[in-house]
Chain A
Amino acid sequence: MNIAPKSSFVLSQRHLLGIEGLSREDIIGLLDLSGEFVDLNRQIEKKTATLRGRTLVNLFFEVSTRTQASFELAGKRLGADVMNMSVSTSSMRKGETLIDTAITLNAMRPDIIVVRHHASGAVELLARKVDCSVINAGDGSHEHPTQALLDALTIRRRKGHIEGLTVAICGDILHSRVARSNIILLNTLGARVRVVAPSTLLPAGIERFGVEATRDMREGLAGADIVMMLRLQKERMSGSFIPSMGEFSHYFGLDEKKLSYAKPDALVMHPGPMNRGIEIDTAVADGAQSLIRDQVEMGVAVRMAVLEALSRHLPNA
Chain B
Amino acid sequence: MMMLVDRRLAPILLANARIIDPSRDLDIPGDVLIADGVIREARRGIGAAGVPEGTEVVDCRGHVVAPGLIDMRAFIGEPGAGHRETLATASQAAAAGGVTTIVCQPDTTPVIDDPAIVDFVLRRARDTAIVHVHPMAALTKGMKGAEMTEIGLLKAAGALAFTDGDKSVTNAQVMRRALTYANDFDALIVHHTEDPDLVGEGVMNEGEYAARLGLMGVPRAAETIMLERDVRLVELTGGRYHAASLTCGESLDVLRRAKNEGLSITASASINHLTLNENDIGPYRTFLKLAPPLRAENDRAMLVGAIGPGLIDVIMSDHNPQDVETKRLPFAEAAPGAIGIETMLTAGLRLVHSGDLSLITLLKAMSSRPADILGLPGGTLRTGSPADVIVFDPDLPWVLDPTELKSKCKNTPFDEAKLQGRVVRTVVAGRTVYEYV
B211 with A206: CB separation less than 8 A: yes
Q: Is B328 an interface residue (CB 8 A)?
A: yes
A119 with B333: CB separation less than 8 A: yes
A–B complex contacts, Cβ < 8 Å, 6 sampled: A20-B212, A121-B284, A141-B214, A141-B215, A142-B215, A204-B210
Residues of B close to A117: CB separation below 8 A: 330
A204 with B214: CB separation less than 8 A: no
Instruction: Assess A120 versus B214: contact at CB under 8 Å? Given A125-B284, A204-B207, A208-B208.
Output: yes
Residues of B close to A208: CB separation below 8 A: 208, 211
A205 with B209: CB separation less than 8 A: yes
B330 with A205: CB separation less than 8 A: no
In angstroms, Cα B219 to Cα A124, docked, is: 26
Q: Which of B209-228 contact A (CB under 8 A)?
A: 209-217, 219
**What 13 additional pairs, Cβ within 8 angstroms, besides A20-B212, A124-B283?**
A97-B328, A98-B330, A99-B328, A117-B330, A119-B329, A120-B214, A120-B332, A121-B331, A140-B215, A143-B214, A180-B212, A204-B208, A206-B211
Residues of B close to A140: CB separation below 8 A: 214-215, 330, 332
In angstroms, Cα B206 to Cα A117, docked, is: 22
Residues of B close to A177: CB separation below 8 A: 214
B208 with A205: CB separation less than 8 A: yes
Q: Is B25 an interface residue (CB 8 A)?
A: no
| Smallest beta-carbon distance B411→chain A, Å | 15
Which partner residue on chain A sits nearest B281 by CB separation?
A121
Q: Which of B271-285 contact A (CB under 8 A)?
A: 283-284
Q: Is A225 an interface residue (CB 8 A)?
A: no
Contact with A along B295-331 (1 / 0, CB 8 A): 0000000000000000000000000000001001111
| Smallest beta-carbon distance B314→chain A, Å | 30
Instruction: Assess A204 versus B213: contact at CB under 8 Å? Given A119-B331, A120-B330, A121-B283.
Output: no
Residues of B close to A125: CB separation below 8 A: 284, 328-330
A203 with B211: CB separation less than 8 A: yes
Q: Is A139 an interface residue (CB 8 A)?
A: yes
Chain A interface, DSSP helix/strand/loop, else mixed? mixed
Residues of A close to B215: CB separation below 8 A: 120-121, 140-142
A124 with B211: CB separation less than 8 A: no
B214 with A142: CB separation less than 8 A: yes
In angstroms, Cα B215 to Cα A177, docked, is: 11
| Smallest beta-carbon distance A115→chain B, Å | 11
Residues of B close to A98: CB separation below 8 A: 329-330
In angstroms, Cα B49 to Cα A276, docked, is: 92
Which partner residue on chain B sits nearest A100 by CB separation?
B328
| Top 9 A-B residue pairs of the complex, sorted by shortest distance between their CB atoms | A142-B214, A205-B208, A119-B330, A121-B284, A141-B214, A203-B211, A120-B214, A122-B330, A208-B208
| Smallest beta-carbon distance B295→chain A, Å | 13
| Smallest beta-carbon distance A92→chain B, Å | 12
A119 with B332: CB separation less than 8 A: yes
Q: Which of A19-54 contact B (CB under 8 A)?
A: 20
In angstroms, Cα B208 to Cα A180, docked, is: 12
In angstroms, Cα B207 to Cα A20, docked, is: 18
Residues of A close to B329: CB separation below 8 A: 97-98, 119, 125
Instruction: Assess A142 versus B208: contact at CB under 8 Å? Given A119-B330, A121-B284.
Output: no
Contact with B along A4-16 (1 / 0, CB 8 A): 0000000000000
Which partner residue on chain A sits nearest B203 by CB separation?
A120
In angstroms, Cα B206 to Cα A206, docked, is: 11
| Smallest beta-carbon distance A204→chain B, Å | 5
In angstroms, Cα B213 to Cα A97, docked, is: 21
Contact with A along B184-220 (1 / 0, CB 8 A): 0000000000000000000000111111111111010
B284 with A120: CB separation less than 8 A: yes
Residues of B close to A180: CB separation below 8 A: 211-212, 214
Instruction: Give the interface centre of A119, A177, A206 by most chain B CB atoms within 10 Å.
Output: A119
Which partner residue on chain B sits nearest A208 by CB separation?
B208
Which partner residue on chain A sits nearest B285 by CB separation?
A121
In angstroms, Cα B215 to Cα A124, docked, is: 14
Residues of B close to A206: CB separation below 8 A: 211
Instruction: Assess A204 versus B333: contact at CB under 8 Å? Given A20-B212, A97-B325, A124-B284.
Output: no
